[in-house]
Structure 1
Amino acid sequence: MNALIKKETSQRFAKLQQIIIQSQADACLISTSVNQFYLLDFIFDGYIFIQPEGEPLLFVKRPSGMEGENVIYIRKPEQIPDYLRQRNISLPRKLMMENDVLPFSTALRLQAALEMPQLQNVSGEMRRIRSVKSEYELNQMRECAKIHARVYEQIPRIYRKGMTDIEFQIELEREMRLAGSTGIFRAFGENMDIFMGSILAGDNAQVASPFDFALGGQGASPLLPIGANGTTLAAGTTVMVDMAGNYRPWMSDISRTFAIESVPEMAYKAHQVSIDICNIISETAKAGTPCADVYFLAEKRVKEAGLEAYFMGTEQQAKFVGHGVGLEINEPPVLAPRSKEILQPGMAIAVEPKFVLPGIGAAGIENTYVVTDNGLEKITVCEEGLTIL
């Protein structure tokens, strides 16, 4: 581990230890991949045991070959108490765990193995810590955004007349992988399954989905009812591209819309309103701005344009206009009318004011911004206009 990464992870552990102290807990147990990576810069099968002070212990099941005085190999969690006692560490009476992510059976097993401590959920606190990025993390996102934009620039080249949305997505996914995409799209929560992103062509953009994304789509199978469904990219309709910016561990989020040959003026109007909203928010919002106010800025411009019926869907309208981005694509804060969150320096947010126009398709853009004391820094820089294919 190089010095920069060691400094980063040390600072992250210090933040978590402060949460443990504030919560009056005795220890914290971390086992999910995204939080392990955040704290260690690598992932393993097992548990990180963190106390209010001192170095963490790593209880490892896989992979083999990990070394270090704080690395302890186990076959099952029931072995953890004996190893703690060997190091003169008392079993925790109050233990923080990722209770809203862990399977219920896993949480119960860990609680029983540790002789029934009181459990407290740490998932929300971990997401809050991760929502404010260091300069190292933000630079990862800036690098990712540049690659993301370069891949989107290939879209006019890969388009072929008569292709379906799935064929189009396959070609774009190829470009993504060649550019270094990890091929996995990390998202938090239930009903967030998706494969590398979403392509919405024509009226498929109207189809409501059970998944918690801004827009839906029927999907190619009832097993994954989101996104592309085999729709032909037909003249007079649009195709919205919202594919993963997963070229670094810290991600970026971009949506762009393309017109197939020609589209009605309504599509250009809605698309320009989306650009206007992004510009208004980027010129107005900064550290200290309530997230609800950001949503209301968007809502005001939508009402001025008379496009309320099409904003963030038709059959099912999403009640937010953006979200945080980081190791997961949907981190805090949420830019929603009921949000109590406040923008802080170092946050990264995706702003996605989108419209769905019956008979035409989706319109609008999405950009990722870094929150500063003086405003928002746009890191996703590529053509925003309604581009003709």
Structure 2
Amino acid sequence: MIQTERELKVLKIREQMQRNQLEACIVSTPVNTYYLHQCIFQGYTYIPLEGEVFSFVRRPSDFNLKALQLQDGHCHFIRKPEQIIEVIQAAGLTLPASLGLEGEEMPQSQWARFEKMFATSQIKNISHLLRQARSVKTEYELEQIRQSARLHEAVYRNIPSIYRPGMSEKDFCIEIEYQMRKGGCLGLFRCYGIDMESFMGSVVAGDNAAASSPYDFALGGAGHPSNPIGATQDTALREGQSILVDMCGNFSGYLDDLSRCYSLGKLPDIAYRAHQVALDIQAYVQENLRPGVICEDLYNGALKIAQEAGMAEYFMGCRQQAKFVGHGVGLVINELPVLAPR
């Protein structure tokens, strides 16, 4: 039997539920709603371990329930989450003994509300389990990411022609963002983590590239006090500087992440040696990235290459080093797995 995209994803979520002894879960965040339905609405999707999925829509009020392609009686408009109980009981289902909620994103007040609604259920946080499910992509998802990367790379090919003498770092960044948007980028940068913020990415040159960031990104940059990462208006692009472009490509809802290094004229020899070491690390990771490999081993192997080349002090940063050498992509820029030492 040919399974639909949603059925494949529900199956992956149920595998996580079964491993963690959950009888049901409720998905409510935009990322995981889009993951299941390829559309976003404000509401909830109730997934029992067995049986049909139910969706409950609060907004928009004119949402086309047929777009969810669920069985008749399994899509409902609701005003309040308490109506979920009424619907599933009317369908002849018993309340689950254990229920998963997106605890990392759900406000405490809403969590307490669901605890009251499902008073006989043990409530567990499933945010990490959903990230685990999303980490293994379907063929549809892989093609979405590939297509995004193709469009993204097409913009990057034109970056040298975008530069004009006298540009500031911020001017250059804005022109690249403009070309990205013209090329079809949606502009939305989704990132996992409550303290993680960014716009479309970073363009950093010279000493600004070494500025530390409060966020768990590999790149820094002084940016603006309200968003201290990336380009500044004060950094003038000049001969002898390296320029690092690290933008998020979101051309379909699925994100790719491409970084490229450029230079204005000739750089010091150490820059070319460091760049070659980075290419060696990339080749090592590509060669050894296989199903079943331990992420920590890849990180340690990358670090060893940097150490043997005498570049350990610059590995994943100068003043502040990021403790990872790679990460997954998908509906957020920093999906699992993370190639990290733990």
User: What TM-score do the two structures reach when normalised by structure 1?
Assistant: 0.82
Asked whether the equivalents of residues 80 and 113 of structure 1 are also in contact (C-alpha less than 8 Å), the reply is: no
Correspondent of 2:35 among 26, 35, 38: 38
Confirm whether residue 21 of structure 1 aligns to residue 18 of structure 2.
yes
Confirm whether residue 237 of structure 1 aligns to residue 241 of structure 2.
yes
Offset of residue 67 of structure 1? 2.6
Asked whether the equivalents of residues 236 and 262 of structure 1 are also in contact (C-alpha less than 8 Å), the reply is: yes
Correspondent of 2:229 among 215, 226, 230: 226
Correspondent of 1:265 among 269, 286, 291: 269
Cα pair distance change 1:94/1:252, threshold 3 Å: same
Looking at structure 2, the residues matched to 32 and 86 of structure 1 have their Cα atoms a distance apart, in angstroms, of: 25
Offset of residue 317 of structure 1? 0.8
Equivalent residues in 2 for 1:1-389, closer than 5 Å: 7-63=4-60, 64-68=62-66, 69=72, 70-115=74-119, 117-219=121-223, 221-230=224-233, 231-338=235-342
Question: Where does structure 1 lack aligned partners over 5 or more consecutive residues?
Answer: 339-389
Summarize deviations over 1:192-220 as a string: whole Å, max 9, x none.
1100111111111111111110121111x
Asked whether the equivalents of residues 298 and 321 of structure 1 are also in contact (C-alpha less than 8 Å), the reply is: yes
Looking at structure 2, the residues matched to 287 and 83 of structure 1 have their Cα atoms a distance apart, in angstroms, of: 42
Percentage of identical aligned residues: 46
Asked whether the equivalents of residues 61 and 74 of structure 1 are also in contact (C-alpha less than 8 Å), the reply is: yes
Please tell me the root mean square deviation across aligned C-alpha atoms, in Å.
1.8
Offset of residue 322 of structure 1? 0.7
Asked whether the equivalents of residues 80 and 114 of structure 1 are also in contact (C-alpha less than 8 Å), the reply is: no
4+ runs deviating over 6 angstroms: none
Q: Which has the higher contact order (CA 8 A, sep 6+)?
A: 1
Higher mean alpha-carbon deviation, 227-236 vs 148-157, is at 227-236
Asked whether the equivalents of residues 16 and 133 of structure 2 are also in contact (C-alpha less than 8 Å), the reply is: no
Q: Give the partner amino acid of 1:287.
A: P
Offset of residue 298 of structure 1? 1.2
Offset of residue 141 of structure 1? 1.5
Summarize deviations over 1:157-185 as a string: whole Å, max 9, x none.
11111111111111111111111111101
Q: Give the partner amino acid of 2:263.
A: A
Summarize deviations over 1:78-134 as a string: whole Å, max 9, x none.
232222332222233321011112122221222223336321111111111111112
Q: Give the partner amino acid of 2:206.
A: G
Looking at structure 2, the residues matched to 223 and 116 of structure 1 have their Cα atoms a distance apart, in angstroms, of: 44
Offset of residue 232 of structure 1? 1.1
Asked whether the equivalents of residues 211 and 221 of structure 2 are also in contact (C-alpha less than 8 Å), the reply is: yes
Offset of residue 143 of structure 1? 1.3
Summarize deviations over 1:228-265 as a string: whole Å, max 9, x none.
12211122211100011211232221111111222211
Q: Give the partner amino acid of 2:64.
A: M
User: What TM-score do the two structures reach when normalised by structure 2?
Assistant: 0.93
Higher mean alpha-carbon deviation, 316-325 vs 58-67, is at 58-67
